[in-house]
Chain A
């Protein structure tokens, strides 16, 4: 199975700052089949990005995804108060689907 590693584990930033989250795969993710999810406490995850860089309808354009092969990045250009949450990457290029361990973005 493809193992995903996310870094950092926790990112402490202030509103208005830029957040850069990394996701690395143990082998190449086919067709850039990589998604990003946001999860807030007590809520179900929400899909943000699919295909490594395509934003889901309704997701603000301050969220962007990039990368290919084994290295992927989620960037939040200017953090809003509602963006403080845990972010997971997921590969769906090969069964079994796998998730990364998550990056928590918290308020500095």
Chain B
């Protein structure tokens, strides 16, 4: 059974940094692309970033480029999202998601339960 467990969310001040993690199990992580998607409170879904299976290719939403960095450790079956220069409008639940096809820019078949990031002073 595919399991995606996000962690690392919490309260951070504007301008601060935070690293989210997503522990994956139940599938071959090292051959799977992964994505992050966020959802602000009461709002819709916003794709954040994706990474290829090897980590050699990364993709970002324009509003996150330069502030967020996606990475992975295939030896630990873990996906990361390093977030910096955080703003109030980055407040959201951040979901880790798995495309079923193995490629980065594809439908997201499996989702974690999300971790809440709150940016506030």
Contacts and interface: CB of A to CB of B under 8 A. Distances in A.
B50 A97 contact: yes
B59 A35 contact: no
B47 to A, nearest CB: 4
Contacts, number: 54
B111 A97 contact: no
Given A50-B107, A95-B105, A45 B45 contact: yes
A72 interface: no
Interface string A32-48: 00010101000011110
B60 A96 contact: yes
Place the interface of chain A in its size category. Answer: 20 to 34
Secondary structure at the B interface, as helix, strand, loop or mixed, is strand
A14 B46 CA distance: 30
A82 interface: no
Interface residues of B, number: 22
Contacts of B47: 90, 96-99
Contacts of A101: 44
B102 to A, nearest CB: 13
Contact of B45 (A95, A96, A99): A99
Interface of A: 1, 35, 37, 39, 44-47, 50, 56, 88, 90, 92, 94-102
Interface of B: 35, 37, 44-47, 50, 59-62, 95, 100, 105-109, 111-114
20 contacts: A35-B107, A35-B108, A37-B108, A44-B111, A45-B45, A45-B95, A45-B111, A47-B100, A47-B109, A50-B107, A88-B44, A90-B45, A90-B47, A90-B107, A95-B50, A96-B59, A97-B35, A97-B50, A98-B47, A102-B44
10 tightest Cβ-Cβ pairs between the two chains A and B: A44-B111, A97-B47, A35-B107, A50-B107, A99-B45, A102-B44, A96-B61, A101-B44, A95-B59, A95-B105
